[in-house]
Chain A
């Protein structure tokens, strides 16, 4: 398989990046003296720093390659992941949920479950999150080695160990603080390293309109073909997009996944914490101009036999993930190739650091201190955070080798978010907005929701029942099945939680002050003029979202 050749200049740029991130870890070590520094970056970040880190923790290279590849496969519908599938949830987190998270001074999402419900719900979520995080971290590592091996011809073991050890070094030295620093550097490297692909594509083809004109209607619109699933590339009805992606999957991920929400907890005050996801929403909306546009450019060039552009093939199967690397190869001369590869590497490593820093917090506070050593001192917890970082990286490496010997595990991992996050969102939403939801209702609802999502996935995978039972359509894609499965898991969790809560013991209202809407005094930023309030910025973000959807309708 042809690979992208690197020159000494490209190697120098890649090595500068590695030296830089390790140097930052060493530099920040002397500023990391307490457990709050290590686990919450000192809780002194501005909303801009926390906001960029919030977005970057989600912006792994696997997502960049995967979403560009998915665009090649499904067309512009993939932009829904960045717009309706992200923005409303991010704004909801900032406006309605963040005050309860931030003001209760919790260190993790399971910590909120402990305060709102009880210890067993916290431990259940802590363990499922820790397992999910390490599995995802290992799979990311495997995917990174696969990408570097496929496109650059690099050695598997060296690729995995070099990046895993680098992440372990800087996260062990200064925890969330260095993770946030490197995530922000990664954000800029991704824009400078990959946005040029879209610019060059536009220069070559002529304009965005000309790119869209070269595509079939099923691929070049957002909503106009969504009334009939057979007419769009994703084979999905608009209700599946709205309920499955726009509501459950999106809200489940952006409002409850500790990997991203942890960045907002590092903000210096409540206003900065509320602004964190709201500011991040603007950058999230801009990302399709890298990933989606690159995917559309790849389709347009592939459809033109004179362009000489085509994706790689593995055993006769088109490798969709090769779209972005093949565009880099097409447009980037020496030097810029090194920058493009560094952007991908930075994405992988920042994603890895995000997983590991979220894992070490949940392990230390929600499993170790909660169950194993309730009297641990702050100094001991800081030590445990560093130890769990190293152990987390070693387990991730083990998972990566497991994935290498058992590649189909990749399929299971794609569904893991809907197993854990979709039902958790129902638990959080009900718990935060309805005071009479009980600890037993939340616990059993969460377990039932997680199990039902898992069984729906397995049922379709092993043909126990037909997929159309879930998607309510005669045609469907894997993506459509993911959306609908998440919706049903959320609904099952919500119904079970409500029903059991009706018959079990409620917590006294006075214990829920500060944790539940309606029982908490909500007076935020009253001294500020409206234009400086998070609500105003959120309205602007919503207007931009509507305009983008209308333009590409």
Chain B
């Protein structure tokens, strides 16, 4: 079921949302002379699935890294649930309930699937250096965690593999494991970086279902994706980036028909610089 009525006022890049979970202002980052990200204003609506799309090199993953504390922007402010995240290290961002996955799956290869899962849980006494030596201090919590891990593994159809090293899983299974692991921390916002990349078509369907389930359970999802089909299928809101800027946003169907977006993707004006589309380069009258 698609959610609607998320924005306030005219739909345009940087439009205000009824109930934003993330608000970013003037976030920019450049590598060398190249501007990777330059986001004027963005609000991500709460409780729905938002897709972040754009051509290769649009700065999607860099923007992800900036929001999650994995990289520091040159300038800008951004908030999560009303609290500023500027200067907050990545692990604290995660502790606040904003958990991410990676484009190149980071399953911890030489830990078993179950250990991978347990690692995701928050507030473990046994992770304290001194408490860890005394099992009676952390065994009860460990049992709780294990129960939840098994439950999630069941749901993600990985239960049979729980004692295997994560290294032995297929690409798609690793994506599932990474998502399930992220859920162990009971996040409020799940950020998925290309959840479908490298997943075989048979698993795609089930991954989509899992993402929709997250929304049902009240979580907010922000994901980066290339596959338009999938975006149209599950996203409630779509944000389009090109050359580090947000060039369009809106409901999926509207965005897909947006001329600027189609241009950015398909290059219908193949002889036109992408900079013209994003407004970076202003051409004299009548040339574009």
Q: Do A and B come from one complex?
A: no
